[in-house]
Chain A
């Protein structure tokens, strides 16, 4: 990709964000502190970190579903106030409407946004390969994810947030979905924040991998993945550059994973006393 002539504005910017919440037993917990992250137009950013460190909180802050306790979250240069219509979100678990057929699931977005029914259905009919009238429970996990992607991309999001979207799929299907996602993303020009605990997935897909510390989450380090595009996710894992980058990032991530794990053990021991 050529660098744009004028320096572009970041699409998403988190500046010094702190996020505290009150747990059900009334204690104040810090999920995130001094968190800084910028995402440029068309950039694919993967966020990796130990389990339960607050990776998903990043995404919820960008959607406005949770407010920051300190610092600022801006989308397209403006502080977040409610759900921005240019956002698309792919969930970890199934979020298709089980009572709607595949086609009705896909057109849900445009219809919510006031597009005429006939027009919405016309746009949706591409790419569904004969499964339009099935219900989600009749599809395989991979097919359901594909419908979720179609449901998200039909709204033409400029910002795509993905919360471990493929973690429930088996390894082969996951790799196929990576290629599908890269293709859809390439056509859309959206910027992406992709949260995952799978480092290989992060490197295969992203331009930039952000490693978080174990909770409270801050950005530990940011790596640029300079593997040229277009990439083929199913083959990239054999690329020597891929292995090199994996090793470097894993060394960094392992420290946090161990730290998170030992803290969990300490907490369990404390509870048992």
Chain B
């Protein structure tokens, strides 16, 4: 809890009322929030100005590091006039399509496999070694193989995003199922739950917070998969834009593409948090949230 100093006035020596204490607490909370936002924005602005100045004063080489105004200018041209490879929105859409398809198929497959193996000791013991083996392959090296197998189009990027997402979600779902409370399982069985009912009403909800934790990171991984796939070979996509910018030593273009991806990833993260909050209404608030409330 935040400590609030409500001073007893020495002249009247009156003890503050509840309303005064509450008002003081509300003020302290508001001040804390304002301070946080002030520093957040301040640091961003200072960083951008520092970059701009350093670049203009030639403390850093503009050729490699570009500068914020150039990047902004590039983003403006891209969004109004399009890139040299066609409209920005087309590239963005292609990358998103690949990421989303890879993310959903990977997440669904990961959850199903995780729950199946988590529930069945025998399956888990047999397959765990293979999962370890495949998991030890750095996913990025699969990019050229997938492009060879599935061509330059959508399928190869979706496949890469899929393998990026699958293992993360799988191992969390597996762990979540393993951690399901034995008492809850026994209780459900005695109350009358059988087979699939037990999985659906106890095992899956128990694993849900584990699964969600993995979904948060894995959307980022899906984007990584799509972009790496586009580096290696593609006709559209943000990865292609970065690749072309690299080829023409166009630092501004590279940073602009990175900014676009950053915005998309942050928006996705935000949506995910909203969904999670809705699904996790039953959970007691974390200690930290209580303190910041």
Which residues of A does B touch, CB under 8 Å?
63, 65, 83, 85, 87-89, 91, 93-95, 97-101, 108-109, 112-113, 135-138, 151, 155
B240-293: which residues lie under 8 A (CB-CB) from chain A? 281-284
B189-219: which residues lie under 8 A (CB-CB) from chain A? 189-194, 197, 201-202, 205, 208
CB-CB under 8 A from B192, the residues of chain A are: 85, 109, 112-113, 155
Q: Given A65-B189, A91-B187, A95-B187, output 7 extra A-B contacts at Cβ < 8 Å.
A: A65-B186, A83-B189, A83-B190, A89-B187, A97-B202, A113-B191, A155-B192
State whether B184 touches A95 (Cβ < 8 A): yes
Q: Which chain A residue lies CB-closest to B185? A: A95
Tell me if B188 counts as interface (CB < 8 A to partner A). Answer: yes
State whether B186 touches A95 (Cβ < 8 A): yes
In the complex, number of A-B residue pairs with CB atoms less than 8 Å apart: 59
State whether A63 touches B282 (Cβ < 8 A): no
Residue in A89, A98, A100, A137 whose CB lies within 8 Å of B190:
A89
CB-CB under 8 A from B282, the residues of chain A are: 98-101, 135-137
Which of A97, A109, A155 has the largest count of B CB atoms less than 10 A from its CB?
A: A97
Tell me if B3 counts as interface (CB < 8 A to partner A). Answer: no
For the complex, give the distance between the alpha carbons of A98 and B192 in Å. 18
Minimum CB–CB distance from B180 to chain A (whole Å) comes to 11
Tell me if B183 counts as interface (CB < 8 A to partner A). Answer: yes
CB-CB under 8 A from B201, the residues of chain A are: 97, 108, 112
Q: Which chain B residue lies CB-closest to A113? A: B192
Residue in A88, A99, A101, A135 whose CB lies within 8 Å of B205:
A99
Q: Which chain B residue lies CB-closest to A137? A: B284
CB-CB under 8 A from B186, the residues of chain A are: 65, 89, 91, 95
Residue in A83, A87, A91, A112 whose CB lies within 8 Å of B197:
A112
For the complex, give the distance between the alpha carbons of A83 and B192 in Å. 9
State whether B187 touches A135 (Cβ < 8 A): no
CB-CB under 8 A from B284, the residues of chain A are: 137-138
State whether B183 touches A95 (Cβ < 8 A): yes
For the complex, give the distance between the alpha carbons of A180 and B125 in Å. 47
State whether A108 touches B191 (Cβ < 8 A): yes
State whether A137 touches B191 (Cβ < 8 A): no
CB-CB under 8 A from B189, the residues of chain A are: 65, 83
CB-CB under 8 A from A85, the residues of chain B are: 192
Minimum CB–CB distance from A158 to chain B (whole Å) comes to 13
For the complex, give the distance between the alpha carbons of A87 and B197 in Å. 19
Q: Which chain B residue lies CB-closest to A89? A: B190
State whether B205 touches A97 (Cβ < 8 A): yes
CB-CB under 8 A from A113, the residues of chain B are: 191-192
Minimum CB–CB distance from B140 to chain A (whole Å) comes to 38
Which of A83, A94, A99 has the largest count of B CB atoms less than 10 A from its CB?
A: A99
